[in-house]
Chains A and B, each alone.
Chain A
Amino acid sequence: MTAAAGFGAPGAGTSAAAPAIELESLVHVYPEGTRALVGVDLRVAAGEAVAIIGQNGSGKSTLVRHLNGLLRPTEGVVRVDGRDTEGIRVARLAAVVGLAFQDPDRQIFAGRVRTEVAFGPRNLGVRGPALDRAVADALAAVGLADAADANPYDLGYSRRKLLAIASVLAMRTPIVILDEPTTGQDLRGAARVQAIVRGLLAEGRTVLAVSHDMRFVAETFRRVVVMREGRIVLDGTPEQVFAETAWPVLASTHLEAPLPARVGARLGLGSTPTEAALVEALVTARG
């Protein structure tokens, strides 16, 4: 793919040592004066799975939009795969960072699912059999293979959201960012999203998700970053971030640890962010 020239595939060549994403003292002030990011430092290694949580207005969306160049830093540096993003057009960064937006209806424009999914790779210069393969693989990954020729608006909302994710998966970017992927999804849709994330990680891709869904976050990601008022206030594993000691920080940003974490803490079992962890801890405690 010519558009990806200069950026390596997951874990390949010269960029193997560089972090997939690096933010250094990132500051972003919107034109009307809002200080959305007030100095963010973040390093994400290739192949990591990171969830970013926080209230609306905490800076999560602003942060994530810097990663593909939609927003440019007011101060500070953004590096993707070791390279500074300054001066690189969004259309070129799109070959490395795939950002799937929250509202599918704010991007769907094609008359067929297949065409919609092909839009992304097509913009990257992919054609012919390679394009067909990319589309087919993406549709299979989200479970829409049977709807390839349907009109996107004939699909229900859940499946349209999966379509939006597929259209980014088809671009085969080493870094994939999902914005609120489980919001508005029913149980099956949410389970499918979890499977998609696990599939991407198995392929060695770096996955970031912005989410309100604490259960999704605790069960799917090994690293959780909590944002409040433009800065990162917590950064660690779900066990660390949802531990009792972290609750005051979480509460200060209107977040609450998932129920298993709260039950586990109350019972003195340590940090148990998921149901499975809580059950295991209880089984162990029983002896």
Chain B
Amino acid sequence: MAGGYLVPLALVAIVLASAAAGRALRQLLWISLLLTFPIAVSVILVSVLTRPGDTVLLVLGPFDITLEGVDFAGQTLVRLFAISTAIGLFTLTTDPRAFVFDLERRGLSPRLAFVAAATIEAVPAMVARAGVIAAAQRSRGLDTEGSLRARLRGVLPIVAPVLLSSLTEVEERSLALEVRGFGRPGRRHLLWWPPDRPVERLVRWLLVAALAALVGVRVFGAWPPIP
């Protein structure tokens, strides 16, 4: 049973160590938690409460909480965390523009490339906008410092203008983009893309090979599955 935890935890340790080396540990933990949290909640609920097993730990109403269930949930969570930290590390260490330009010079359509890059930039702008709106609403007496009930009532007066103003801005934004040729079909001659060093190319091939090996080993049953 312990074996199922070893590999994912080792991976998580490697990823977190890399993040710490890059001084992005706290950010990475936040991103991973945000990514995993929703799925984690449902996984825990479903596995812990309904998974059949021999060793019953606790009886909760109609549900038998078994050791096997808890173990399954634990292993799944650890795997999820391993995946999310890896994804998180990727987003933290990759310049989105470099990434998108590189994809484009390898054949990704410029329109898709633009959408990918613009989406990444959109979040901080939205957060800033929400801040301005919150200030205006608070100046009209909206209480964001009071009871939970008061704060919940404050959600609509902040969220609605964020959405509305973003929507009204979308038309002007898209017109401004059209005028500058975005969305025109056909390839572009990029001014710059990230350089590709032989070392990086080698590592990429090795990773692809490793992935193929892992898949093969799994498919041909040499690795124990989750019980």
Other-chain contact of A109, B138, B145, B164 (Cβ < 8 Å): B164
Interchain CB contact under 8 A, A91 and B161: no
- Residues of A72-117 at the interface with B, using a CB-CB cut-off of 8 Å, are 89-91, 94-95, 98-101, 103, 105-109
> B160 in the interface, Cβ–Cβ < 8 Å?
yes
Residues on A with C-beta less than 8 A from B139 are 68, 70, 90, 94, 98-101, 168
* Chain A residues in 8 Å Cβ range of B165: 105-106
Residue in contact with A171 in the complex, picked from B140, B143, B145, CB distance below 8 Å: B140
Verify B145–A89 contact, CB threshold 8 A: yes
Q: Count chain B CB atoms within 10 A of each CB in A3, A123, A153 and give the residue with the most.
A: A123
Contacts of B156 in A (CB 8 A): 109
Please tell me which one of the listed residues B136, B146, B168 contacts residue A101 in the complex, with CB atoms under 8 A apart.
B136
B135 CB within 8 Å of chain A:
yes
Q: Is the CB of B132 within 8 A of A94?
A: no
Q: Chain A residues near B141 (CB, 8 Å)? A: 3, 91, 94-95, 119-120, 122-124, 171
**For residue B160, which residues in chain A have a CB less than 8 angstroms away from its CB?**
109
Whether B168 contacts A107 by the Cβ 8 Å rule is no
B132 neighbours in A (Cβ, 8 Å): 101, 103, 106
Q: How far is the CA of A185 from the CA of B164 in the complex (A)?
A: 22
A133 is an interface residue with CB less than 8 A from chain B: no
8 contacts between A and B (CB under 8 A): A70-B139, A89-B145, A91-B141, A101-B132, A101-B135, A106-B132, A108-B161, A123-B142
Q: Is the CB of A89 within 8 A of B161?
A: no
Q: B129: CB under 8 A from chain A? A: yes
Q: How far is the CB of A157 from chain B (nearest CB, A)?
A: 11
Instruction: Report the Cα distance A106→B160, complex, angstroms.
Output: 10
Interface string of A122-139 (1 = CB under 8 A from B): 111000000000000000
Structural contact, B143 and A123, CB atoms closer than 8 A: yes
Q: Please give, as numbers and ranges, the residues of chain A lying within 8 Å of B146 by CB-CB distance.
A: 89, 91
Q: How far is the CA of A98 from the CA of B137 in the complex (A)?
A: 11
A residues at B contact (CB < 8 Å): 3, 65, 68, 70, 89-91, 94-95, 98-101, 103, 105-109, 119-120, 122-124, 153, 167-168, 171
Whole-angstrom distance between the alpha carbons of A242 and B135 in the complex?
33
In the bound complex, CA of A68 to CA of B157 (Å): 19
CA distance A3 to B141 in the complex (A): 10
Name the distance in Å between A92's Cβ and chain B's nearest Cβ: 9
Q: Which of B132, B141, B160, B168 has the most CB of A within 10 A?
A: B141
Q: In the complex, A80→B10 CA distance in Å?
A: 59
Contact A105:B164 (CB < 8 A) given known A91-B143, A119-B157: yes
Find B136's partner among A89, A106, A171 (CB 8 Å cutoff): A106
CA distance A65 to B144 in the complex (A): 16
Contacts of B129 in A (CB 8 A): 106
Take A90-B145, A123-B143, A153-B168 as given contacts and tell me if A107 and B138 are in contact as well, using a CB distance cutoff of 8 Å. no
Asked if B44 lies at the interface with its beta carbon under 8 angstroms from chain A, I say no
Nearest CB in chain A: distance from B174 CB, A: 17
Question: Which residue in chain A gives the minimum CB-CB distance to B139?
Answer: A99
Interface status of B133 (Cβ within 8 A of chain A): yes
Q: Which residues from 168 to 197 on chain B have a C-beta closer than 8 Å to any C-beta of chain A?
A: 168
Residue ID in chain B nearest A67 by CB atoms:
B139
- Which residue from chain B places its CB closest to the CB of A99 in the assembled complex? B139
Q: 9 new A-B pairs (CB below 8 Å) besides A70-B135, A90-B143, A107-B140?
A: A70-B139, A91-B143, A94-B139, A98-B140, A107-B133, A107-B161, A123-B141, A153-B164, A171-B141
Give the residues in chain A near B137, CB-CB below 8 Å.
107
- Shortest distance between the CB of B15 and any CB in chain A (Å): 29
